[in-house]
């Protein structure tokens, strides 16, 4: 059996490269698409269909979720309660994280003997990493408790849709996961257990879609309108792609000329590799190993960034 291909891409709205990546991998046949991150605009996928010459079928996960919740009020109440808990957890995590990142920035500006600076910077970074891991653990616990209490994949309201989705996927060669609102997208993917249903399919994911299929979703914006940006872990992703932190839209969201920010991002999420995905970029993995990339930028531990050329085997 051929190794499954995973491709993550930059934003596709204005300069799409999805078709190029599909042709490069020799993928032919229908592509099932997920545009749930577009929410109420989920069905407005005409440009995507035209780009792929009509060979797509939309899984309509957002619409399906609305149908499930309209039918299963108990599940709806449980899901809303879970989301409320996660929002509270995110708020408290962000409070602690902002202070830890501020402290790290101050330490970077201090003057001291090099060996002391190295030691203190490492301790500061370890505190940030510990906060990230604690938050991830809290999110995983909330998800486990929800799954144990409601067993969503076994409920008739969801099982029926999963059978329909599985039937569609049997006739598809690949799955395309678009961007949009990443939390909504991830919720819908997880609600229907899409990670289990696409185990044999090539997956093409861009923008928020690339974030959703990684091991952990990292929200970031170095220069937001409302003030200083803080990169924060949202929760665990589907983990279809491991060892990579996708960072879409770096043109507007990353200060790549700020060595301190680049260095902290790299070291904070190591050993995962931080890959910025500008427009027209994509990177191909097969069987979990790097194959090739076009225009992808890697953030380095010394605060620099380079065009991605290689990754270690098994990433």
Neighbours of 118 (CB within 10 A): 11
Contacts of 21 (CB under 8 A, 6+ apart): 7, 9, 204, 282, 284
Tokens of 202: 């090539």
In Å, what is the CA distance from 262 to each residue of 223, 247, 273, 287, 313? 14, 12, 12, 29, 24
- Tokens representing 162? 């999963």
The phi and psi torsions of 284 (rounded to 5 degrees) equal -110, 130
CB distance 206 to 234 below 8 Å:
no
What's the total number of domains in the chain? 1
Contact at 8 Å (CB) between 186 and 216?
no
Which strand ranges, in their side-by-side order, compose the sheet holding 273-277? 244-248, 273-277, 297-299, 305-307
- In angstroms, how far is CA 119 from the centroid of its own chain? 32
What's the CATH code of the domain at 283? Answer: 3.40.50.880
Confidence of residue 3 (pLDDT cuts 50, 70, 90): confident
Cα separation, 90 vs 185, whole angstroms: 17
Is 170 part of any domain?
yes
Are 280 and 15 contacting, i.e. CB atoms less than 8 angstroms apart? Answer: yes
Q: What is the pLDDT of residues 246-285, one digit of tens each?
A: 999 999 999 999 999 999 999 999 999 999 999 999 999 9
Share of the chain above pLDDT 70, in %: 97
Q: Taking Cα atoms as reference points, which of 177, 223, 180 lies closest to residue 197?
A: 177
Q: Is the pLDDT of residue 312 over 60?
A: no
pLDDT tens, position by position, 142-189:
999 999 999 999 999 999 999 999 999 999 999 999 999 999 999 999
Q: pLDDT value at position 53?
A: 85
Q: Is 298 a residue whose pLDDT tops 80? A: yes
Placement of tokens 């599940």 in the chain: 75
Strand duo 172-177 + 202-206: pairing: parallel
Domain region containing 288: 5-71+155-307
Distance of alpha carbon 275 from alpha carbon 250, whole angstroms: 10
Q: How far is residue 83 from each of residues 69, 78, 89, 184, measured CA to CA in Å?
A: 14, 9, 10, 11
**Structural domain includes residue 96:** no
Q: Is residue 52 part of a domain?
A: yes
**What does the pLDDT read at residue 308?**
85
Q: Is residue 126 part of a domain?
A: no
Q: What is the pLDDT of residue 314?
A: 41
CA distance 94 to 198: 33
Backbone angles phi, psi at 124, to 5 degrees: -65, -45
pLDDT score for 1: 42
Structure tokens at 119: 């030691």
Residue 113 lies in a domain: no
Give the strand order in the sheet containing 56-58. Answer: 56-58, 30-34, 172-177, 202-206, 5-9, 282-286, 289-294
Query: Comparing C-alpha atoms, which of 241, 150, 129, 244 is closest to residue 195?
Result: 241
In a domain, 138, yes or no: no
CA torsion sign for 153, 157, 162, 163 is positive
- Flag whether pLDDT at 46 surpasses 50: yes
Could you tell me which residue, 224 or 73, shows the higher pLDDT? 73
pLDDT single digits (tens) 12-29 = 988 889 999 999 888 988
Q: Does residue 89 contact residue 234 with C-beta atoms inside 8 Å?
A: no
Which tops the pLDDT comparison, 78 or 27?
78
Mean pLDDT for all residues in the chain? 93
Average pLDDT over residues 281-305: 93
Place of tokens 């402290």: 103
């Amino acid at each position: 059996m051929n190794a499954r291909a995973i491709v993550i891409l930059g934003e596709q709205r204005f300069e799409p490269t999805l078709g190029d990546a599909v042709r490069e991998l020799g993928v032919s046949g229908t592509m099932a698409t997920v545009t749930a991150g577009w929410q109420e605009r989920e069905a407005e996928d005409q440009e995507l269909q035209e780009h792929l010459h009509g060979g797509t079928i939309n899984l309509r996960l957002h619409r399906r979720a609305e149908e499930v919740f309209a039918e299963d009020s108990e599940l709806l109440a449980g899901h809303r309660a879970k989301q409320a808990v996660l929002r509270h957890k995110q708020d408290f995590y962000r409070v602690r994280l902002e202070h830890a990142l501020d402290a790290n920035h101050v330490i970077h500006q201090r003057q001291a003997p090099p060996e002391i600076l190295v030691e203190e910077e490492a301790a500061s970074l370890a505190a940030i990493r510990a906060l990230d891991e604690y938050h991830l653990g809290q999110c995983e616990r909330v998800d486990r408790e929800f799954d144990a209490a409601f067993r969503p994949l076994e409920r008739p309201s969801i099982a029926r849709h999963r059978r329909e989705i599985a039937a569609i996927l049997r006739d598809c060669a690949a799955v395309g996961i678009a961007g949009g609102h990443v939390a909504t997208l991830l919720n819908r993917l997880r609600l229907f257990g899409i990670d289990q249903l696409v185990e044999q399919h090539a997956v093409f994911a861009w923008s928020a879609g690339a974030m959703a299929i990684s091991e952990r979703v990292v929200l970031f914006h170095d220069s937001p309108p409302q003030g200083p940006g803080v990169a924060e872990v949202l929760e665990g992703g589907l983990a279809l792609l491991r060892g990579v932190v996708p960072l879409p839209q770096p043109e507007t969201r990353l200060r790549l000329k700020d060595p301190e920010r680049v260095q902290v991002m790299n070291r904070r999420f190591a050993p995962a590799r931080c890959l910025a995905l500008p427009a027209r970029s994509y990177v191909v993995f097969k069987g979990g190993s790097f194959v090739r990339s076009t225009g992808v930028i890697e953030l380095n531990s010394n605060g620099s960034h380079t065009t991605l050329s290689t990754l270690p085997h098994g990433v």
